[in-house]
Structure 1
Amino acid sequence: MATWDNWMPELQLAAPTAPVPLIHLCLNRAARDFCANTRAWQVWLDPVQATGDATQEYGLDLPMGAEVVRLEAATLDGKPLEVVMAMDTEGDPVAMSRLRGLVCTDLQNFYLPSGQVGAVRVKCTLQPTISASTVPDLVASRFFEALRDGALSELLAKDNTDFFKPELAAVHLERFNQAKNTAQAAVWRNHGTRGGGARKVGWC
């Protein structure tokens, strides 16, 4: 994992008197924004063994410092498994018992209402938590400049500071938005058109 220290030289050069906690906060917000809007951080989580109990909830085993933006797909013993939002089930017990899929309850847990047995794997889009101080190395290396621009767009827009540079902040914001658009298109090409995964993606 790459820490915020990787970006500190450039951000401190742009705003020498900015407090380090503020710089870290801006980096965290930029990373959360970027990951949530581009789907750039996607992982297949380790398998969870489903026991066949239709009422049992299973937790998503997430990397430290990460939280789920959405569930992208799921498999049961390697076969595609439908992903459904709990709010879309309408609480119909008959319909639920017939649903041979995965029901996402709160972006942290899921259950299998028809009581399947086997190894469940879930593919998620993740973002750093609000207290995280790292991003995956792949995200950091591929999108270093984007996260830098995102952080600077907020940092240099702080009024009543000696590093308040609204015109420059606007330039960095434009670059950040362009980078998000480019990354979003690339991720959709790489992930959105592939086969496999869930038969129906629930944007949990």
Structure 2
Amino acid sequence: DRVTLKDKYGENKYTFKIVGSYYYPASLCVFMTNDNFNDVFDKDDGYFTGYFSNEKLKDIDDKYIATTITQKDLTTVTDQLDDSMGMSFTLLVGFSVLIYIILMYLLSKLVIEKNEQNISMLKILGYSNREASKLYNRATTVVTIGAILVSVPLIYYVFAGLYHYFMFEMKGWLPYVVPWYVFVEMAVIGIICYAIIYFILQNKINKIKLSQALKSDD
């Protein structure tokens, strides 16, 4: 394909033939070799706009240096956001974990309460508290862990779609990147929180009396 670009501060137009693509989500750019750049924009042979270097260049006279941009300069905005909003994200995580624990506890507690008579009958038949707990909490445990393992990657793709949708409305672009250890943290936090709930429910089952089996739902 061919693309025509217009000089922002002039009337010149430049048409380029696209011969390939490069994954560069930070911006929408046209890349070309330095020789082609000099030829298209009437620059002298050997002209260049800058150097990228992993270390400070010491063999260039200061009078030839227009500006120096470091990694710190490019990350200033993100550093400021992290300083000003970093704590709010920690509070958000803590609040989310609290809601998760409360919701899981209420749902699991409902299962136990609905089956108090059955659990009491199991104890009369000789089942220990631990065995009775396994019968009712094991299914909840399997479903919870399975839901965590399925929902973590599912949430990633849902938020990726929403993020891209919102970024299309902005005059810029930041790539959607989630480090691998975040997925591990999400799964581990979810499992640990449920483990706490499991032991609370275990204690609740232990307190169910054998006489509960004699009570009628009527």
TM over 0.5: no
> Hey, which of these two has a bigger chunk of strand by percent?
1
Give the structure with higher Rg (CA).
Answer: 2
> Hey, which of these two has a bigger chunk of helix by percent?
2
By relative contact order (CA 8 Å, sep 6+), the higher-ranking structure is 1
Normalised TM-score (structure 2): 0.26
